[in-house]
Structure 1
Amino acid sequence: MHRRRRTALLLSAALVTAAPLLAACGNDAHPGAAAVVGDDRITVSQLENRVNEVRTAQRAATTGDAQYEQAIAKSGGLTRDTLHGMVLDRVLHQAAEDAGVSVSRKEIQEARTGLEQQAGDAKALEVAWLQQYGVAPERLDDNLRTQIEAQKLATALGTETSQPAFWKALSDASRKLGVDLNPRYGTWDVEKSSRVDTELPWVREVTAAGSRGTA
């Protein structure tokens, strides 16, 4: 993934469409888990809840089914990118902790107040963040914390969030945590600190069988 794109995914939640989730989507090592990051287990239920938060907010912010469907159409892959963000948040937090960086509640509130003034009011900011970044209103403060944490980490490292030194810190944190994704959602590239799609063998087999059957 292009470095600037990965930075954008880090500093904002990406808009994507929810892929179907099967009940038995945990892997053998971590049944029921979408990902395991260090000692932190991200369950499929938690992931689904995050996706539903965005969809519920999109429904509330749109008028009529047609507009809602347009919002969904603009957000293809929501489940996987939401998981990417949930994992990367934890990786970033580990990197920040290793560098002695922390973010206070006051810093988050000051950032939010400034953004609300720019947007017009609190509601306008929530709508803007939802439309531009796919961040549900209840996750806005978490998203701002991530952005502030990333910027402070870059400053502590004497670099910028788009530079190799910053991403090396995330890579080191990824390696330290030992990120393990459920194969349904791809794999975690430690060097790039990014989720990578994988083509599952059983998907190829089913597709091939279907093609032969319809030939």
Structure 2
Amino acid sequence: MLNKYQNLKSKNKSSLYSLTDADRTYIDKTIRYVCSAGIGMLEGEFIRKDLIGMALEAEALGSSLEQRLGDAAAFSQSLVSENACTDLTVRKFEKLYYGIWQVGALLSIMTALFIVPLGMYKRNISLLFILFVVIYAIAAYLVIFNINRLVFASRQCKFTIIIFAFLILPFILQNVRNILLNLGPQLPGAALWIFLCASVLIYITGRLLFENFAIKNARKNHWDLT
């Protein structure tokens, strides 16, 4: 089930398809620029929503966003300047909660697909290996998060990097397993079900924290999340 932030993001994505290619490109460049410059994810989605509305108005008059707002780079810089005073602490909490949510999701998927089956097969597993999985999930999230915020990288380039990262996951786990599985304290394979439950709990906690943050921040700034 989508939370309010995901619902807003999904609606924005659907609305983009009703715009011209030029306006979609303009909005995409603007959002990537402002987000790479530090504008929060939630704030970025409301900027996207406003730009979509402006694009629809412009198209109804036979115009475009670029004709109405000027060069995308210059307009993006003006948006960043206007929002430069936004509370940095708020943005840090947004990144933290979103990070907990996404790392929890990655851990849950990795544990369910790779770690639990491996533990059931071996009957025991090294604590060091579990620690590696946690570090890998955090690193994977940071890579994906920052790739998505790159201003000049094409969608094809970002998609290729992300897919490549996940394709090499089984290979990495296989080789690290050979090194770490027999080192350090050993846990019974059944204990991995507890680790899976903990991963799911992290995911749920992060999701709820981010949802609560989004609702409070939207109310504070009079943004409509419905």
Report the TM-score range of the alignment, normalised by the length of the smaller protein: under 0.3
Indicate the structure with greater strand content.
Answer: 1
Higher relative contact order (CA 8 A, sep 6+): 2
Indicate the structure with greater helix content.
Answer: 2
Max radius of gyration: which structure? 2
Q: What TM-score, normalized to structure 1?
A: 0.26
